[in-house]
């Protein structure tokens, strides 16, 4: 206890120096908290977009369809899927098609859905901004931005053509979901129409399953143990496209970068401590001659470094969590995300991104304190350990 | 003179007795012409530029084989329309491709014409036909795969003079005009066609039909195997 008091007194002796040291740690702590919150929030927004809008929490399809998503590789009969965590299941039939209006032609993926079944699983039916959701064959619902590109309005006919057939479908609704793939590329038609467009030989290309958040991968793995041969389930994480690589790449890039930040902050703390120790070598010599062991003196040096960085950590945690709370409750990144969605409309990005707020970030940030203490023990501490008190007491 | 009067009366009675659909069919037959070979000059006009193609065409009125003669860069490309089936031979690829039915609505050689305009009969198949004041008014059949809200076919003496395509908001978006028809051994074929994209200024395609030889076309011309070597 006396060692701690001694270290604390020494930290307060050089207030300006301590303040500057703490500032470095505040900066690094805020950066660590914010970047982890941002990365986790980004990941959560992707999972949300793919599970609720673009794909589904879990998808079951034939192995051949996963390799070649041609409707021909879909289900001739729908499989029975049983798992206690599966809350709902609905068949879907996806196929590439040409969309034709009097003004434009555009290719895209058409998703044939069971209108009622889709409501139990996806949020898309509840995001209709104009008109209504599908209710019968002969109808289509489009993403709002896609409809703008094609210049098609509610109540007008859209021609959907595939290699197997063509249909003139009445546009009954436009969807505005805030997810790039839905707004810029969403084409939803009745399952029966999709079957006709695919040549009528398959019932569906895949089965979408609703499972509780966070259980997607586990349920997919459990299903893969029980599903008949030739069928495979994939969780939402596997269903993500190239954007998953972007997210994982960001983590791979930023986590080591944060580690480097923390190391530099610790080095800054330790270098200042080193200078401080050099200035006080005579003081340490006196303390040692009074009976304090060199190891206790080295521990005191480490404690001083830990206290100085600990002060910065506390202030940094306060500021960092305040920032995270604000960005997790306010759509601060909305304009940036909307721009990203415009630039990468097919990536599954959401127009909204809220940072995550987790207590564990404090633990990550606290590593700078531990690192500072460790480095202080290794370098300025070694000065104290190698101290020859007699030399200093003589004033040499 | 008396005989001519009777013939005219008989023709008029026949015309009066025709339903709008029959009138459309017969007008389309005349538009497609009899079995013939010809060279079509296709001029594609765009704001500030134009490009001209020369095509050798073989058709029996139902099926058509088109080969690009000029310009050099595209020479050798060939198209074959057999009902719903459409084949394309590209010498750069060195192979024949079968296009999906959707390909029929694609723009032909980057022009404003579609394969359908040149070879198809969608107007009969996808639309319900009525007649108003000598003009055929076509509205899509329920669920018909056409993006148009209405098509008006203007006839003069049984010949198609002008086809106007409307969007679903009542706005004219495309116009096809036939210059004049040439009489060929009792059959007819338009001399010129002009197609305008009414939504974009300066987008126009002109077709001039020359070097027409009426008569049976060898059956091999309608085989995909002969797309590469020609018939």
- DSSP assignment of B1-69 equals -HHHHHHHHHHHHHHHHS-HHHHHHHHHHHHH-SSEEEEEEEEEEETTEEEEEEEEEEE-SS-EEEEEE
Residues in chain B within 8 Å Cβ distance of A156: 149, 168-169
Residue A202 and residue A72 share a domain: yes
Q: Answer for the pair B155, B15: CB distance below 8 angstroms, yes or no.
A: no
Min Cα–Cα distance to chain B from A136, Å: 13
Is the residue at B112 inside a domain? yes
pTM assigned to the model: 0.80
As a dihedral over the C-alpha atoms of residue A7, residue A11, residue A14, residue A15, rounded to 10 degrees, the angle is -150
Residue-number span of the structural domain to which B28 is assigned: 19-229
Residues in chain B within 8 Å Cβ distance of A159: 105, 145-147
Q: Does A159 touch chain B (CB under 8 A)?
A: yes
Q: How many domains does chain B have?
A: 1
- The answer to whether the CB atoms of B145 and A101 lie below 8 A apart is no
Q: Answer for the pair B156, B136: CB distance below 8 angstroms, yes or no.
A: no
- Which of B75, B78, B66 has the alpha carbon at shortest distance from B39? B66
For β-strands B49-59 and B64-70, DSSP reports them as antiparallel
Residue-number span of the structural domain to which A250 is assigned: 2-50+243-393
Residue A207 and residue A105 share a domain: yes
Rg (alpha carbons) of chain B, rounded to whole number: 18
Q: Out of A198, A217, A239, pick the residue that ends a domain.
A: A239
- Which of A266, A135, A255, A227 has the alpha carbon at shortest distance from A188? A135
Q: Where are the beta strands (DSSP E) in chain A?
A: 58-62, 88-100, 105-113, 128-131, 139-143, 157-161, 166-175, 187-190, 206-210, 231-235
Q: Give the length of chain B.
A: 231
Is the residue at B1 inside a domain? no
DSSP letter string, A181-233: HHHHH-EEEEHHHHHHHTTSS-SBSEEEEE--TT-HHHHHHHHHHHSPTTEEE
Per-residue pLDDT of chain A (396 residues; tens, 9 = 90+): 577 888 888 888 888 888 888 898 999 999 999 999 999 999 999 999 999 999 999 999 999 999 999 999 999 999 988 899 999 999 999 999 989 998 888 889 999 999 999 999 999 999 999 999 999 999 999 999 999 999 999 999 999 988 788 899 999 999 999 999 999 999 999 999 999 999 888 999 999 999 999 999 999 999 999 999 999 999 999 999 788 888 899 889 988 988 898 899 889 888 888 888 888 888 888 888 888 888 888 888 888 888 888 999 999 999 999 999 999 999 999 899 999 888 888 888 888 899 999 999 999 999 988 888 888 888 888 888 877 777 776 665
- Under DSSP, the state recorded for B143 is T
Which residues make Cβ contacts (< 8 Å) with residue A107, sequence separation at least 6? A96, A97, A98, A99
Residue with tokens 């995550």: A356
Q: Does B128 touch chain A (CB under 8 A)?
A: no
Q: Does A168 touch chain B (CB under 8 A)?
A: yes
Which H or E run includes B214?
strand B204-214
The C-alpha atoms of residue A10 and residue A308 are separated, in whole angstroms, by 10
- Which of A345, A366, A367 has the alpha carbon at shortest distance from A178? A345
Is the residue at B154 inside a domain? yes
Q: Out of A219, A239, A259, pick the residue that ends a domain.
A: A239
Q: Answer for the pair A29, A368: CB distance below 8 angstroms, yes or no.
A: yes
Q: Answer for the pair B222, B83: CB distance below 8 angstroms, yes or no.
A: no
- Which of A66, A68, A67, A71 has the alpha carbon at shortest distance from A163? A71
Min Cα–Cα distance to chain B from A124, Å: 25
Residue A170 and residue A106 share a domain: yes
Q: Out of A195, A214, A239, pick the residue that ends a domain.
A: A239
The CATH number that applies at residue B182 is: 2.50.20.10
- The answer to whether the CB atoms of B165 and A102 lie below 8 A apart is yes
Per-residue pLDDT of chain B (231 residues; tens, 9 = 90+): 454 454 444 444 444 568 888 888 888 877 777 788 889 999 999 998 999 999 999 988 778 898 999 888 888 889 888 877 788 888 888 888 887 666 666 778 778 888 777 666 778 888 999 998 889 999 999 888 889 999 999 988 888 889 999 999 999 999 999 888 888 777 788 889 899 999 989 999 999 988 888 888 888 888 888 888 887
Residue A281 and residue A158 share a domain: no
Residue A76 and residue A46 share a domain: no
Residue of B nearest to A170 (CA): B143
Q: How many domains does chain A have?
A: 2
Residue A46 and residue A63 share a domain: no
């Amino acid at each position: 206890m006396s060692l701690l008091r001694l270290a604390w007194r020494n930290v307060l002796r050089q207030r300006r120096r301590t303040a500057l040291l703490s500032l470095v740690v505040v900066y690094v702590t805020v950066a660590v908290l914010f970047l982890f919150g941002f990365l986790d929030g980004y990941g959560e927004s992707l999972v949300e977009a793919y599970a609720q809008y673009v794909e589904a929490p879990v998808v079951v399809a034939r192995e051949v369809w996963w390799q070649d998503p041609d409707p021909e590789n879909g289900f001739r009969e729908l499989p029975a899927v049983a798992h206690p965590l599966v809350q709902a299941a609905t068949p879907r039939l996806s196929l590439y098609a040409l969309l034709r209006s009097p003004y434009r032609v555009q290719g895209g993926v058409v998703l044939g859905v069971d209108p009622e079944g889709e409501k139990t699983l996806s949020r898309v039916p509840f995001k209709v901004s104009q008109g209504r959701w599908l209710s019968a064959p002969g109808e289509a619902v489009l993403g709002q931005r896609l409809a703008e590109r094609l210049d098609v309005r509610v109540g007008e006919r859209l021609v959907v053509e595939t290699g197997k057939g063509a249909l003139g479908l009445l546009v009954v609704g436009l969807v505005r979901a805030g997810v790039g793939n839905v707004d810029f590329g969403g084409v939803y038609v009745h399952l029966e129409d999709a079957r006709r467009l695919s040549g009528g030989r398959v019932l569906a290309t895949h089965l979408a399953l609703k499972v509780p958040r966070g259980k997607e991968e586990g349920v997919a793995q459990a299903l893969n143990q029980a599903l008949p041969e030739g069928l495979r389930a994939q969780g939402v994480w596997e269903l993500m496209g190239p954007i998953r690589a972007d997210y994982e790449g960001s983590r791979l890039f930023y986590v080591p970068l944060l580690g480097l930040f923390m190391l530099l902050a610790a080095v800054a703390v330790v270098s200042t401590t080193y200078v401080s120790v050099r200035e006080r070598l005579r003081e340490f010599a006196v303390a040692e001659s009074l009976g304090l062991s060199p190891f206790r003196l080295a521990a005191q040096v480490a404690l001083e470094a830990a206290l100085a960085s600990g002060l910065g950590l506390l202030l940094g945690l306060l500021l960092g969590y305040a920032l995270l709370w604000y960005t997790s409750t306010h759509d601060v990144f909305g304009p940036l995300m909307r721009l990203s969605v415009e630039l990468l409309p097919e990536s599954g990005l959401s127009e909204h991104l809220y940072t995550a707020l987790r207590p564990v970030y404090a633990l990550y940030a606290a590593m700078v304190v531990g690192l500072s203490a460790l480095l202080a023990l290794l370098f300025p501490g070694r000065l104290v350990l190698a101290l020859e008190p007699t030399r200093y007491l003589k004033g040499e | 003179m008396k005989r001519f009067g009777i013939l005219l009366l008989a023709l008029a009675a026949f015309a009066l007795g025709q339903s709008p659909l029959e009138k459309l069919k017969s007008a389309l037959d005349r538009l497609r012409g009899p079995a013939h070979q010809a060279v079509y000059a296709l001029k594609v006009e765009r704001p500030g530029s134009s490009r001209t193609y020369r095509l050798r065409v073989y058709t029996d009125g139902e099926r058509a084989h088109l080969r690009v003669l000029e310009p050099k860069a595209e020479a050798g490309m060939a198209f074959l329309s057999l009902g719903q089936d459409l084949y394309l031979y590209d010498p750069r690829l060195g192979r024949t491709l079968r296009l999906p039915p959707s390909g029929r609505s694609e723009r032909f050689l980057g022009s404003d014409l579609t394969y359908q305009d040149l070879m198809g009969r969608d107007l009969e198949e996808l639309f319900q036909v009525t007649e108003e004041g000598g003009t055929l008014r076509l509205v899509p059949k329920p669920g018909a795969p056409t993006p148009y809200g209405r098509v008006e076919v203007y006839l003069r003496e049984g010949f198609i003079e002008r086809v106007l395509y409307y969007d679903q908001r009542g706005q004219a978006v495309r116009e096809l005009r036939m210059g004049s028809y040439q009489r060929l051994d009792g059959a007819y074929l338009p001399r010129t066609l002009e197609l305008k994209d009414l939504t974009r200024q300066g987008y126009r395609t002109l077709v001039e039909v020359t070097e027409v030889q009426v008569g049976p076309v060898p059956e091999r011309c309608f085989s995909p195997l002969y797309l590469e070597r020609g018939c």
